Structure 1
């Protein structure tokens, strides 16, 4: 949701820098080998419009790209930016990602029509 936790409040996974670190930590803990890890990056829409003052979407994209680069994890697929949100369905066994753009009036918890 937000790019960087700056030490104020609770360090939760709603911050990109915390989420990526925790995800990588858990993957390694469960036996993944860093040399085999690749990334697929989705999201980063500025749903308030291209002129959104905080540019949170663009900052989230940049953070993801920078951290993954720092960890030497290649991005093999991505769909980022714009002004429309995305809904993704990820199959962890195969690595397949289904994505569709979200209509603002659509029920965002609906997983039909993938």
Structure 2
């Protein structure tokens, strides 16, 4: 009997990785960050991005880390998937994260990074016409997510709230 081990590909903060079945993509530490999975299930190919901030226009640096921002990381994720053989019309997405990790007495939306990250990711996916099949966003707890290329399921472990599959 041959037991196939499934390699786990870890996606760091402000990082982006790609995988093919039977590999699993995992990222931890999603507080206000948003984990974005874009995949073509029939081709068994996927990518995961760990987005920290909504817009690269906020950066004053010339050596910008494109993987840190929704407006640069998500297009890179989609474009690279297509180059690797995914079919644009078959792409789908799942997202998780975007929590409000701290409570603010101010109504200043600049402080609500989780919500702004979520909204930025959704706008870009919509621009690329990639439908979001499921999401687990908001709240005030951190998450770890794992995407299985075999099943297309995203396992979400939320601090103090247990696990679910979306």
Please report the RMSD computed on the Cα atoms of aligned residues, expressed in angstroms.
Answer: 2.0
How far apart are residue 50 of structure 1 and its match? 5.9
- Among residues 30, 33, 37, which one is paired with 2:87 in the alignment? 33
Count of aligned pairs: 105
**What residue is the counterpart of 1:85 in the other structure?**
142
1:56-112 CA-partner distances (Å, limit 9, x unpaired): 000011011111111111111001011111111111333211111125xxxxxxxxx
Contact 1:85 1:101 in 2 (8 A): yes
**What residue is the counterpart of 2:132 in the other structure?**
75
Structure 1 unmatched ranges of 5 or more: 104-112
Q: Structure 1 stretch 43-52 or stretch 69-78: which is displaced more?
A: 43-52
Moved segments of 4+, more than 4 Å: 50-53
Output the CA distance in 2 between the equivalents of 1:48 and 1:93.
36
Larger RCO of the pair (alpha carbons < 8 Å, separation 6+):
2
1:24-77 CA-partner distances (Å, limit 9, x unpaired): 011011011110001101110011136575100000110111111111111110
Q: 1:59 to 1:51 in 2, by over 3 A?
A: farther
